[in-house]
Amino acid sequence: MALHHAEPGEIVDVRPLGAKLKQGINATLVLTDHLQVFRFILPAGEEFADHKVHGEVIVQCLEGEVEFRSHGKKQMLRTGELVYLAGDDPHALKGIRDASVLVTIFSGKTNRA
């Protein structure tokens, strides 16, 4: 399942996982030469430490609530909110309420060898 990437025109479910969140897995949903879309599970209390991505990024909160740190500030990213980052912007996430986020990375680089 985790290895399946959507074909163009294929419907992909990104509805909230709800009670199944803690059994959920991080999964890449779309992978092309320049585009990567994945769902990332972030239970309350877990952190994804400072990192950066070589490419523009959109992080969308699909459910729950996440503390989002970038540009020297902490903000709450709540269900139905998204944030855009330029390439190489350092950022970190922490689950405040059990959360899953949709991460979309656009890279001029090729994702696939």
Q: Which residues bind its own copies (CB under 8 A)?
A: 6, 8-16, 30, 32, 34-35, 37, 56, 58, 60, 62, 68, 70-71, 73, 75-77, 79-86, 89, 91, 104, 106, 108
Structure tokens at 75: 């903000």
When the beta carbons of 20 and 80 are compared against its own copies, the nearer one is 80
Nearest distance in Å: CB 56, its own copies: 5
Q: Which amino acid is at 23?
A: Q
d(CA 106, CA 10) in angstroms, rounded, equals 19
Within 8 A by CB and 6+ apart from 4, the residues are none
Nearest distance in Å: CB 60, its own copies: 7
Of 55, 84, 90, which is closest to residue 69 (Cα–Cα)? Answer: 90
Nearest distance in Å: CB 113, its own copies: 19
